[in-house]
Amino acid sequence: MLNVSGLTKRFGGFTALEAVDFTLLPGEVHALLGENGAGKSTLINAICGTFPPSEGNVQLDGRSLLDLSPLRVREVGVAPVFQEFSLAPALSVLDNLFLGREATRGPFLRRGEMRREAEALLSRIGFSLPLDEKVSRLSRAQKQMVEIAKALRLSPKILILDEPTASLTDGEAEKLFEAVARLKAQGVGILYVSHRMAEIRRLSDRVTVLRGGRLIATVHTADVTDAELIEMMVGRPVDELFPEIHNSPGAPALRVSDLSTATGSIRAASIEARKGEVIGLAGLVGCGRSELCRAIFGLEDISSGEVVLGETPVAKPRPDRMIAAGICYFPGDRAAEGLALNRPARENVSMAGLRLRKLSRGGLLRAGAEPEVVAGPLDKLGLRPMMPERRAGAFSGGNQQKVMLARGLVDDFDVYLFDEPTVGIDVGAKTDVYRFIKQLAESGACVIVSTSELPELLHLSDRIYVMAGGAVVQEIARDEASETAILSHYFGE
């Protein structure tokens, strides 16, 4: 049904996708597997018409999709559900479901009809959503469900699901799987992107593995083991990806006790971290682990509880004070919160250290010294290309991440908080980030890593705290840690 052949996509000098073939049959669930940066989103985007490929062809039922706008591609039967939502937050769920395709009589909306149709649709796919609530008031999982329902409303031939369960609970995911099964039975082809082996195994008929923009293999799911799939994805046995960290837990560096935030995103969370230790924070997106990092750093209002840095309690964390006190925070959303994208890399590196004597005296910048101050950290992290005067936004994802991380080396910090440190970066950059974490921990700093990647948790951390619903539900020591041990606590039991 869907036939992709020889697809190549270059961005400037960078080849994101090289001669990839891909087919999707009616009534098939075809999983797309690959690390971040492997080319999965480029492939999906090329199919959806977001950007035209440099070479190759995309055909649906023999008809080329290449010259169609994203909107037309959707109209001919391709329904993508991205992680980034295409919902208007100020409108209600009902309005969003029908946005752009409202049922009307003349210029007027036929609300009754839309409501009936929406209810029928939701009961067909087994989702339960408040139709009159504004989308901005929904949880992430609910938004995800609206997005999926919206895509299904058009009875597509092909459904593309990009990590659809990343923010769903087990129960919700189960509903989604049932919906997928029903659609499959109806002959819809489903392109399913996920990291989770269990899902891939349960749902998919075939798996295509991408790595570094190249097609590694397309196999029948039943014919391969999980380990084989992972090795295809990573390109080497998993153990080689992660450096061995020789840690020596020392004095307490950070203690959080009974911390709750004003928004309720964290409830009475307590953790403890020592110098020279890597602590993993595990949990679903929205479980509160990102918010915990933010609250410690002073970016979320704390309603009760205590943050103790070394031996000193911090009354009211505030980013500038926490930096001065020795905490460095790397946000998970690099583009929105990590970097000033239209400023040079140099300024982004020195941003958190402007008060330091090596960068300024009495409010005057030491403009002459600055390039040298930032060169060391950037060199150590291996920025490529090494062009500190270039706009931060002009670098690839992995190198943007390095620009942000370089901040941590401009000053001496005792505690490093990483939120999703490897989101959207390629394998090479990932190993650089892991090496960075290793160096920090081995030089005696305390490192806290909040991540949704299980392998990172398992290979990097000495201890893991699992969070669910804003609370810390379990602490797991390194030798007890396993994928199942962590996952079993994701839903709070």
Partner 1 sequence: MTDVMTRRSAPALADRLKPFSLPLGIVALLLVFALIEPRVISGANLRNIALQTSFLAIFAAAQCVVLLTRGFDLSLGVTVSLVSVGAGMAMTSAGVAAGLAAGCGIALAVGLFNGLLIGAIGINAFVATLGTSYVVMALASTLSGGFPVAPLPPAFNAIFAQGSLFGIRAAIWVALIVLLAIGLMLRFTTLGRRLYLVGASARAATAAGIRPAAVLIAAYAICGLLAGIGALLLTARTGSGEPNLGGNLTLESIAAAVVGGAKLTGGEGGISSALLGALFITVLSNGMNLVQVDGYIQQVFLGAIIVLSLILGRDGARR
Partner 2 sequence: MSVTTDNPAPAGPSRLEGFLVNGGVVLVLLVLVVAVSAAVEPRFLNKLNLMNMGRNFAFLAIPALAQMLVMTTGGFDLSLGAVVASGSVVSALVMRSMGADLPEAGVAPVLAALAAALALGLAIGAFNGWLVARFNISAFMVTLATASAIVGVVLFQTQGIPIYGVSEGFIDLIGRGRIGPVPYVALIALALVALGIVMQRGTRFGRHIYAVGSDARAALLSGVPRAKVLIATYALAGALAGVTGFLMTARLGSGQGTIAETLAMQTIAAAVIGGVSLRGGVARAELVALAALFLTVMANAMNLMRIDSKFQTLVLGLVLLGALALERLVLREKTE
What angle is formed at CA 38 by the lines to CA 63 and CA 437, rounded to 5 degrees? Answer: 160
152: CB partners within 8 A, 6+ apart: 79, 121, 125, 159, 179, 183
Of residues 16 through 35, those in contact with partner 1 by CB under 8 A are: 16
Angstrom distance (rounded) from CA 343 to CA 176: 42
- Identified binder of partner 2 from the candidate list 10, 115, 140, 390, rule CB under 8 A: 140
Binding track, positions 406-445, relative to partner 1; x by CB under 8 A: -x----------------x---------------------
Candidates 182-190, 218-226, 242-250, 335-343: pick the segment binding partner 1 (CB under 8 A).
335-343
Q: Is 281 in the site for partner 2 (CB under 8 A)?
A: no
Which span sits near partner 1 by CB under 8 A: 147-155, 172-180, 339-347, 429-437?
Answer: 339-347
Site for partner 2 contains 159 (CB under 8 A):
no
Q: 88 contacts which partner out of partner 2, partner 1, none, CB within 5 to 8 A by kind? A: partner 2
Contacts of 286 (CB under 8 A, 6+ apart): 139, 140, 141, 167
Q: Decide which of partner 2, partner 1, none touches 331; Cβ closer than 5 to 8 Å per partner kind.
A: partner 1
Q: Which does 133 bind (CB under 5 to 8 A by kind): partner 2, partner 1, none?
A: partner 2
Q: Which is nearer to partner 2, 97 or 245 (CB)?
A: 97
Q: Which of 107, 108, 312, 342 binds partner 1 (CB under 8 A)?
A: 342
**Beta-bridge partners for 84:** none
Q: Are the beta carbons of 196 and 165 closer than 8 angstroms?
A: yes
Of the chain, the end-to-end C-alpha distance in Å amounts to 43
Which partner in partner 2, partner 1, none is near 400 (CB below 5 to 8 A by kind)? Answer: partner 1
CB of 378 to partner 1, least distance (A): 16
Residue 167 within binding range of partner 2, rule CB under 8 A = yes
Q: What HEC string does the chain produce?
A: CEEEEEEEEEECCEEEEEEEEEEECCCCEEEEECCCCCCHHHHHHHHHCCCCCCEEEEEECCEECCCCCHHHHHHCCEEEECCCCCCCCCCEHHHHHCCCCCCEECCEECHHHHHHHHHHHHHHHCCCCCCCCEHHHCCHHHHHHHHHHHHHCCCCCEEEEECCCCCCCHHHHHHHHHHHHHHHHCCCEEEEECCCHHHHHHHCCEEEEEECCEEEEEEEHHHCCHHHHHHHHHCCCHHHHCCCCCCCCCCEEEEEEEEEECCCCCCCEEEEEECCCEEEEECCCCCCHHHHHHHHHCCCCEEEEEEEECCEEECCCCHHHHHHHCEEEECCCHHHHHCCCCCEHHHHHHHHHCCCCCCEECCEECCCCHHHHHHHHHHHHCCCCCCCCCEHHHCCHHHHHHHHHHHHHHCCCCEEEEECCCCCCCHHHHHHHHHHHHHHHHCCCEEEEECCCHHHHHHHCCEEEEEECCEEEEEEEHHHCCHHHHHCCCCCC
Binding flag, residue 332, partner 2 (CB under 8 A): no
141 binds, among partner 1, partner 2, none (CB under 5 to 8 A by kind): partner 2
Shortest CB 261 distance to partner 1, Å: 17
Q: Which residue in 364, 389, 484, 493 binds partner 1 (CB under 8 A)?
A: 364
Nearer to partner 1, 122 or 427 (CB): 427
Distance of closest approach, residue 451 Cβ to partner 2, in angstroms: 17
19 is a contact residue toward partner 2 (CB under 8 A): no
Interaction of residue 394 with partner 1, rule CB under 8 A: yes
Total residues interacting with partner 1, rule: CB under 8 A:
45
Binding string, residues 50-89; x marks residues near partner 2 by CB under 8 A: --------------------xx--xx---------xxxxx
336 is an interface residue for partner 1 by CB under 8 A: yes
* 331 is an interface residue for partner 1 by CB under 8 A: yes
**Segment contacting partner 1 by CB under 8 A, of 71-79, 196-204, 359-367, 477-485:** 359-367
Minimal distance, residue 213 CB to partner 1, in Å? 11
User: Is there binding between residue 100 and partner 2 (CB under 8 A)?
Assistant: yes
Instruction: Name the segment binding partner 2 (CB under 8 A); options: 134-142, 184-192, 220-228, 251-259.
Output: 134-142
The set of residues, in sequence order, having a beta carbon less than 8 Å from that of 247 and lying 6+ positions away, is 276, 277, 278, 441, 442, 462
Least spacing, CB of residue 490 vs partner 2, in Å? 8
Interface with partner 2 (CB under 8 A), residue from 90, 198, 268, 324: 90
Cα 97 to the chain's mean position, in Å? 25
The residues that touch partner 2, with contacts defined as CB under 8 A, are: 70-71, 74-75, 85-91, 95-96, 99-102, 104, 107-109, 111, 128-131, 133, 137-142, 145, 150, 167, 169, 171-172, 263-264, 284, 286-287, 468-469, 491-492
The residues that touch partner 1, with contacts defined as CB under 8 A, are: 11-14, 16, 42, 51, 297, 299, 319-320, 322-324, 329, 331, 335-343, 347-348, 351-352, 354-355, 359-360, 363-365, 367, 393-397, 400, 407, 424
